[in-house]
């Protein structure tokens, strides 16, 4: 009897262990929450959800060394759409730290010998998060119907589209020098082409940086995108030829809005432009919109906690063939920034990002809060700086600001150590505005130029400048000699923001440092960024700014913040090429070189020309100290709960590399 | 009484219109507009934008129109269609924003209000009846402390105490664990736990003021001649107190109920921020910061309506409670 029981027991044990093993074997490659749905018949099996085996994206470099476990929730603060968006972003091509790109959504690409035609290959069997196939149609549709809805045939100019500003990355000069948009055409479900008018060697980087998601779910989107059949499309080609598959329905604005609302009450937009902008471009904020991301939002945007849940059709696996991501859910909690530290220490947030000023509180509470502080690298040129508007409307001040000796003098009059101690707990390093050592664009001596405090030399330099007095007036200030301001004290107004307290403190310190030079400093306090930006757009109404420029990750790929193209760069002022009435620099001036180098960079069609133009821009900064750097840190910090594994210390955090997204959060996992 | 109510209603309508004009003017006062802010954030996020696009966006949002045109388009849509316009920053109708936040805000405010009156009126009566007793001194001390300590500071102190005692600061309305969990008994308990600090903080300040008012009013009434007359006629002390004194003493509190209506809709903004409560107050604060003018405008408009309706309710309540006031009104 006992024997039979024992035998039965052993048999049962064996059967159960085999079944358990079978279950493990099945579920080991995907998250238990998905395995449950597969078992319940509500979700297709894993192999039907992933691309075909040869086309699956295998994440080898970032696969954790420990055996990861599936599941869990990461809870962090809601820093807005540009905080939670990049964490789960999936671009066509991904930009790497060294400025090159690697394939991501795209499987590979070929470039024609003349450098004009890019053929992009996609992954067969890849699916949107709702299970519908992702094909070349989705890319071609996005480019031709969402990114650009109308283009003037004669000028190539975009006439109607909110997203049109991204279009300029696809513009190249034709044989007459007219900038024309690329043609994007369907070849087959896994292939499309991008045809340029002249070669653009950094096209893939431009796509990776500025048009990361050049695709959208056509089938889901076609009913809510305004498509006016009567409006002639720029190429005159039929829908069928453009995008492959079926033609597009005619949709009026009213129909588009009604169709969107019928999909979800969350899609309640005022007009079609807003609808296109929100569901086409900023789509990751809207529950129900299919994506290719590892996690998708499931809550309305008004919720205090935004919840992002794993995408069952995510198309990446780790080196062991386990479907990514490991973590089930991300929660982003809205709260006032003053509460981050206490919530982190209380263990209610798994991740908080902070800067040097908050370092002491987070670092000292690591043990209580059971977390680790990680250091990230920011590729900035300076964190604390000031600059003068080279395009200021008043000619006498403009001439003074354009004088290199003037900028040299004010740079060496600043006590950088003191600023560091008073404003940043000594956490930063005195530095000039220049690429940091170790970066590709570093110029030897750049960060150290003109940072030694020497008030006597500064005064001697100012004494040598024509048009300003060597004597001081009764208040102790130098005055202008001649011109409209003859006899008036030199008074420089610095723009500050009320919502950035360090701005005002820095200006107070500058006033103290410049008083011995005979320069009067006043503060122009703006209520916030808006008020200050308003002046920047005007271009010539502000004199000087503090903490405005921070540098560039890579000048060739992202010249905007340091070159003369934008209309909101503080030192450039109205010399910015994007100003409606941009100023022309004086022939032979240093600013002319900056403007010419910027033009050369924008219009270059060879990599070496682009590199040369970028180097000219960096050199112009080195020679002219357009922006006067005070301190640099090149660091930001993350307090990460110890239960979060496979986080990376020392990653490069910047917009181009998508901040936290550069750590590839889909490879993080939680182990309590 | 009907004539009085009609007259009041007419004045109310005019007041609401004038207030809405004033609030719309005030929210457009700061330099720049929503587009400046929006573009600023786009640039901070590394997006590109030029002046032509900014101008096009301004046209899209009618921000290039004169003040009165903008105001009238907003105000007429509210009156004629019940449409409060669109929130620029949230890209959704203002009504959807209000719908999302009104529930938690009202639940919190009404709980707090009930807490306030349930505590304040009996304690006020007790303090007056037992003037200069130990209990009276105790409540007086607590009241002065409650009134003197700012709400947000009290919130921080209580959070600190909660953190030391439980290891959690009790921020928000739910623990992370229950935030998105389906409703269960545990979740209700968790909610109640998280309500302790907000109700105490928001309630205490009002309660303390009300206790003092109730106490002094009660003391006034207790020393009046009709009390002595009642006693002489052999009425029970309790009957005099509760049937006559309390009814008379509660008048100022009744007239202040109207004002509480505003709080019900807004929640207490600073306390809500400190305690991270999902209240309309915090939404309003962000709308003002972002110059999200239709959201902010609608908000202030609702507050104005709440204030006006509150005043109306107070007037009617007072007329109903106090025959003397009623007589005055009818005369007027």
Sequential DSSP letters for A179-200? EEE-EEEEEETTEEEEE-SS--
Higher pLDDT, B167 or A580: B167
Give the pLDDT band (50/70/90) at residue B40. low
The answer to whether A342 and A122 have CB atoms below 8 angstroms apart is: no
Q: Over 60: is that where the pLDDT of A15 sits?
A: no
**For B64-95, what is each residue's pLDDT tens digit?**
788 888 888 778 888 888 888 888 778 788 88
Q: What H or E segment, with its residue span, contains residue B197?
A: helix B185-222
**For A210-264, what is each residue's pLDDT tens digit?**
777 778 899 998 888 877 654 444 444 556 666 666 667 778 888 989 999 999 9
Instruction: Retrieve residue B158's tokens.
Output: 């209580």
Q: Residues B172, B230: one domain?
A: yes
Q: Residues A412, A473: one domain?
A: yes
* Tally of structural domains, chain A: 3
User: What does pLDDT average to over chain A?
Assistant: 87
Distance CA B144, CA B147 (A): 5
According to DSSP, the residues that pair with A417 across neighbouring strands are none
Interface-testing mutation among B46, B99, B165, B169, with chain A (most A C-beta atoms within 10 A): B46
Site of tokens 């039929």? A238
B217 at A interface, C-beta within 8 A? no
Give the pLDDT band (50/70/90) at residue B52. low
Q: Sort out which chain A residues have CB atoms less than 8 A from B159's CB and list them.
A: 342
Closest CB to B31: pick one of A307, A333, A531: A531
List Cα–Cα distances, B110 to A361, B172, B256, B265, B275, in angstroms. Answer: 38, 17, 15, 10, 17
The per-residue pLDDT for B32 is 63
Q: Sort out which chain A residues have CB atoms less than 8 A from B45's CB and list them.
A: 82, 655
Distance CA A336, CA A79 (A): 10
**For B283-329, what is each residue's pLDDT tens digit?**
888 887 777 778 888 888 888 888 888 888 888 777 777 777 777 76
Q: Over 50: is that where the pLDDT of A162 sits?
A: no
Structural domain contains residue A466: yes
Final residue of a domain: which of B66, B94, B122? B94
Give the pLDDT band (50/70/90) at residue B255. confident
In terms of CA atoms, which chain B residue is nearest residue A305? B179
Q: Sort out which chain B residues have CB atoms less than 8 A from A339's CB and list them.
A: 171, 274, 276
- Nearest to residue A513, comparing CAs of A384, A403, A416, A388? A416
Distance CA A228, CA A231 (A): 6
According to DSSP, the residues that pair with A185 across neighbouring strands are A193
Q: Residues A268, A167: one domain?
A: yes
List Cα–Cα distances, B83 to A392, A421, B18, B295, in angstroms. Answer: 45, 53, 19, 11
Distance CA B128, CA A252 (A): 72
Give the pLDDT band (50/70/90) at residue A534. confident
Give the pLDDT band (50/70/90) at residue A412. very high
Q: Residues A429, A564: one domain?
A: yes
The per-residue pLDDT for A228 is 64
Give the pLDDT band (50/70/90) at residue A17. very low
The per-residue pLDDT for A518 is 96
Q: Residues B107, B89: one domain?
A: no
For chain A, the farthest-separated pair of C-alpha atoms sits apart, in whole angstroms, at 119
CB contact under 8 A, B40 and A303: no
The answer to whether A140 and A242 have CB atoms below 8 angstroms apart is: yes
Q: Residues B84, B131: one domain?
A: no
Q: Residues B83, B104: one domain?
A: no
pTM: 0.83
- SS3 category, A644: strand
Owning domain of residue B48: 2-94
The per-residue pLDDT for A50 is 97
Percentage of chain A lying above the pLDDT 70 cut: 90
Q: Over 50: is that where the pLDDT of A19 sits?
A: no
* DSSP annotation of B183: P
The per-residue pLDDT for B30 is 67
CATH of the domain at B244: 1.10.3720.10
The per-residue pLDDT for A89 is 93
Q: Residues B117, B248: one domain?
A: yes
Q: Residues B242, B115: one domain?
A: yes
**For B175-187, what is each residue's pLDDT tens digit?**
888 877 888 999 9
* Min Cα–Cα distance to chain B from A251, Å: 20
Final residue of a domain: which of B94, B119, B146? B94
In terms of CA atoms, which chain B residue is nearest residue A168? B48
CB within 8 Å of A318: residues ≥ 6 apart: A58, A59, A60, A63, A64, A68, A324, A667
Q: Give the mean model confidence (pLDDT) for residues A381-408.
A: 95
Higher pLDDT, A578 or A661: A661
* Min Cα–Cα distance to chain A from B86, Å: 7
The per-residue pLDDT for A449 is 97
Structural domain contains residue A571: yes
In terms of CA atoms, which chain B residue is nearest residue A656? B46
- Written in H, E and C, the secondary structure of A450-469 is CCCCCHHHHHHHHHCCCCEC
CB within 8 Å of B235: residues ≥ 6 apart: none
Instruction: Retrieve residue A509's tokens.
Output: 């310190």
Q: Give the mean model confidence (pLDDT) for residues B53-69.
A: 73
Q: Residues B174, B212: one domain?
A: yes
Q: Residues B80, B105: one domain?
A: no
CATH of the domain at A580: 3.10.105.10
Q: Residues A627, A644: one domain?
A: no
Q: Residues B102, B156: one domain?
A: yes
Lowest mean per-residue pLDDT among B99-108, B155-164, B230-239:
B99-108
List Cα–Cα distances, A531 to A364, A613, B179, B284, in angstroms. Answer: 37, 33, 38, 20
Q: Residues B131, B89: one domain?
A: no
Final residue of a domain: which of B78, B94, B110? B94
Q: Residues B137, B35: one domain?
A: no
Which of A95-99, A637-641, B15-19, B24-28 has the highest mean predicted lDDT (pLDDT)? Answer: A637-641
Q: Residues A218, A275: one domain?
A: yes
Q: Sort out which chain A residues have CB atoms less than 8 A from B267's CB and list them.
A: none
**For B178-223, what is each residue's pLDDT tens digit?**
877 888 999 999 988 888 888 888 777 778 888 988 999 999 999 9
The per-residue pLDDT for A234 is 41
Structural domain contains residue A8: no
- CB interface of B with A, residues 25-44, below 8 Å: 30-33, 36-37, 39-41, 43-44
Percentage of chain B lying above the pLDDT 70 cut: 87
The per-residue pLDDT for A23 is 38
B224: left (phi over 0), alpha (psi -120 to 50) or beta: beta
Q: What H or E segment, with its residue span, contains residue B281?
A: helix B280-289
Q: Residues A534, A393: one domain?
A: yes
The residue count for chain B: 332
Q: Residues A119, A268: one domain?
A: yes
Q: At how many degrees (to 10) do helices B251-266 and B293-321 cross?
A: 160
User: What does pLDDT average to over chain B?
Assistant: 82
Q: Sort out which chain B residues have CB atoms less than 8 A from A274's CB and list them.
A: 60, 86, 91
* Min Cα–Cα distance to chain B from A309, Å: 12
* Tally of structural domains, chain B: 2
Give the pLDDT band (50/70/90) at residue A154. very low
CB within 8 Å of A100: residues ≥ 6 apart: A205
Q: Over 70: is that where the pLDDT of B60 sits?
A: no
CB within 8 Å of A27: residues ≥ 6 apart: A35
CB contact under 8 A, B91 and A278: yes
Burial state string for A403-428 with b = 16 or more CB within 10 A and e = fewer than 16: beebbbbbbbbbbbeebbeebbeebb
Q: Residues B113, B161: one domain?
A: yes
Evaluate the omega torsion of the peptide bond into residue B283 and state whether it is cis, within 30 degrees of 0: no
The per-residue pLDDT for B167 is 82
CB contact under 8 A, A346 and B168: yes
What sections of A112-237 are H helices per DSSP? 136-141, 203-210, 218-221
The answer to whether A314 and B136 have CB atoms below 8 angstroms apart is: no
The answer to whether B312 and B4 have CB atoms below 8 angstroms apart is: no
A182 HSE (CA, 13 A, CB side): 27
Distance CA A172, CA A533 (A): 30
For chain B, the farthest-separated pair of C-alpha atoms sits apart, in whole angstroms, at 87
Give the pLDDT band (50/70/90) at residue A153. very low
Q: Sort out which chain B residues have CB atoms less than 8 A from A529's CB and list them.
A: 37, 40-41, 44
Owning domain of residue A619: 384-632
Structural domain contains residue A288: no
The answer to whether B201 and B155 have CB atoms below 8 angstroms apart is: yes
Q: Residues A372, A498: one domain?
A: no
Structural domain contains residue A299: yes
Q: Residues A96, A233: one domain?
A: yes
**For A183-212, what is each residue's pLDDT tens digit?**
888 999 999 999 999 999 999 998 888 777
The per-residue pLDDT for B244 is 87
Q: Residues A263, A369: one domain?
A: no
Q: Residues A141, A241: one domain?
A: yes
Give the pLDDT band (50/70/90) at residue B41. low
CATH of the domain at A111: 3.90.76.10
Q: Residues A408, A493: one domain?
A: yes
């Amino acid at each position: 009897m006992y024997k039979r029981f024992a035998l039965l027991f052993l048999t049962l044990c064996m059967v159960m262990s085999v079944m358990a093993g079978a279950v493990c074997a099945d579920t080991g490659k995907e998250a238990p929450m998905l395995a449950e749905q597969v078992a319940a018949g509500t979700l297709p099996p894993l192999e039907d959800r992933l691309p075909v085996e040869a086309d699956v994206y295998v994440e080898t470099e970032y696969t954790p060394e420990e055996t990861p476990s599936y599941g869990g929730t990461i809870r962090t603060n809601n820093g807005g759409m540009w905080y939670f968006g990049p964490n789960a972003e999936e671009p066509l091509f991904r930009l790497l730290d060294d400025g090159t790109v690697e394939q991501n959504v795209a499987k590979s690409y070929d470039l024609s010998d003349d450098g004009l035609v890019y053929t992009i290959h996609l992954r067969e069997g890849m699916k949107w998060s709702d299970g519908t196939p992702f094909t070349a149609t989705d890319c071609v549709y996005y480019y031709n119907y969402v990114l650009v809805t109308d283009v003037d045939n004669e000028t190539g100019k975009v006439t109607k589209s909110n997203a049109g500003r991204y279009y300029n990355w696809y513009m190249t000069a034709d044989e007459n020098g007219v900038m024309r948009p690329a043609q994007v055409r369907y070849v087959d479900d896994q292939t499309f082409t991008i045809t340029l008018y002249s070669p653009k060697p950094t096209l893939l980087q431009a796509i990776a940086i500025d048009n990361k998601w050049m695709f959208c779910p056509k089938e889901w989107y076609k009913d809510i995108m305004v498509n006016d059949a009567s409006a002639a499309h720029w190429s005159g080609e039929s829908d069928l030829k453009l995008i492959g598959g079926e033609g597009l329905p005619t949709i009026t604005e009213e129909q588009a809005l009604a169709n969107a609302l019928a999909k979800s009450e969350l899609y309640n937009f005022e007009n079609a432009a807003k609808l296109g902008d929100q569901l086409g471009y900023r789509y990751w904020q809207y529950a129900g919109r299919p994506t290719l991301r590892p996690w998708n939002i499931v809550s309305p945007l008004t919720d205090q906690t935004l919840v992002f849940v794993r995408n069952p059709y995510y198309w990446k696996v780790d080196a062991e063939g386990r479907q990514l991501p490991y973590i089930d859910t991300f929660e982003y909690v809205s709260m006032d920034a003053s509460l981050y530290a206490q919530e982190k220490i209380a263990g209610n947030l798994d991740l908080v990002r902070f800067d040097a000023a908050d370092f002491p509180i987070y670092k000292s509470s690591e043990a209580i809060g059971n977390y680790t502080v990680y250091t990230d690298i920011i590729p900035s040129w300076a964190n604390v700086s000031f600059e003068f508007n080279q395009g200021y409307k008043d000619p006498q001040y403009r001439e003074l600001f354009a004088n290199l000796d003037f900028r040299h003098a004010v740079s060496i009059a600043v006590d950088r150590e003191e600023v560091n101690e008073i404003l940043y707990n000594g956490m930063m390093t005195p530095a000039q505005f220049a690429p940091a050592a170790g970066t590709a664009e570093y110029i030897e001596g750049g960060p150290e130029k003109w940072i030694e405090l020497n008030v006597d030399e500064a005064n001697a330099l100012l004494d040598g400048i024509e048009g300003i007095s060597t004597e001081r007036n009764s208040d102790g200030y130098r005055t202008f000699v001649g011109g409209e301001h003859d006899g008036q004290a030199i008074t420089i107004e610095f723009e500050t923001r009320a919502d950035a307290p360090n701005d005002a403190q820095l200006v107070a310190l500058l006033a103290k440092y410049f008083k011995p030079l005979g320069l009067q400093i006043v503060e122009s306090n703006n209520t916030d960024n808006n008020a200050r930006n308003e002046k920047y757009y005007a271009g010539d109404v502000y004199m000087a700014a503090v903490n405005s420029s921070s540098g560039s990750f890579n000048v060739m790929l992202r010249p905007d913040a340091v070159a003369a193209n934008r209309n909101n760069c503080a030192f450039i002022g109205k010399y910015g090429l994007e100003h409606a009435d941009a100023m022309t620099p004086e022939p032979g001036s240093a600013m002319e070189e900056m403007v010419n180098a910027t033009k050369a960079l924008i219009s270059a069609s060879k990599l070496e020309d682009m590199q040369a133009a970028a180097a000219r821009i960096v050199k112009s900064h080195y020679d002219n100290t357009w922006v006067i750097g005070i301190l640099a840190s090149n660091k930001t910090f993350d307090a990460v709960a110890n239960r979060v594994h496979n986080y990376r210390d020392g990653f490069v955090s910047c917009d181009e590399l998508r901040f936290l997204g550069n750590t590839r959060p889909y490879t993080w996992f939680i182990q309590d | 009484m009907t004539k009085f109510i009609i007259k009041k209603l007419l004045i109310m309508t005019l007041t609401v219109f004038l207030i809405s004009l004033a609030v719309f003017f005030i929210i457009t006062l700061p330099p720049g507009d929503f587009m400046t802010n929006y573009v600023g954030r786009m640039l901070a996020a590394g997006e590109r934008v030029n002046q032509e696009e900014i101008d096009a966006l301004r046209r899209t949002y009618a921000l290039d129109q004169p003040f009165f045109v903008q105001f009238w388009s907003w105000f007429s849509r509210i009156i004629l269609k019940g449409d409060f316009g669109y929130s620029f920053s949230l890209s959704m109708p203002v009504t959807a924003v209000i719908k999302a936040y009104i529930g938690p805000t009202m639940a919190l405010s009404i709980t707090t209000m009930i807490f306030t009156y349930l505590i304040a009126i009996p304690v006020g009566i007790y303090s007056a009846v037992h003037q200069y007793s130990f209990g009276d001194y105790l409540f007086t001390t607590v009241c002065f402390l409650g009134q003197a300590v700012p709400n947000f500071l009290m919130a921080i102190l209580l959070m600190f105490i909660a953190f030391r005692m439980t290891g959690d600061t009790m921020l928000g309305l739910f623990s992370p664990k229950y935030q998105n969990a389906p409703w269960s008994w545990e979740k209700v308990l968790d909610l109640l736990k998280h309500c302790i600090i907000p109700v105490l903080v928001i309630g205490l300040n009002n309660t303390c003021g009300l206790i003092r008012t109730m106490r002094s009013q009660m003391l006034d009434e207790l020393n009046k001649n009709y009390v002595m007359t009642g006693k002489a006629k052999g009425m029970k002390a309790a009957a005099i107190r509760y049937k006559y004194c309390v009814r008379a003493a509660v008048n100022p509190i009744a007239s202040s109920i109207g004002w509480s209506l505003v709080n019900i809709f807004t929640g207490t903004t600073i306390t809500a921020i400190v305690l991270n409560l999902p209240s309309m107050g915090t939404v309003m604060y962000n709308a003002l910061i972002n110059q999200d003018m239709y959201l902010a405008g609608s908000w202030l408009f609702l507050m104005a309506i709440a204030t006006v309706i509150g005043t109306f309710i107070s007037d009617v309540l007072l007329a109903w409670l106090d025959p003397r006031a009623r007589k005055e009104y009818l005369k007027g």
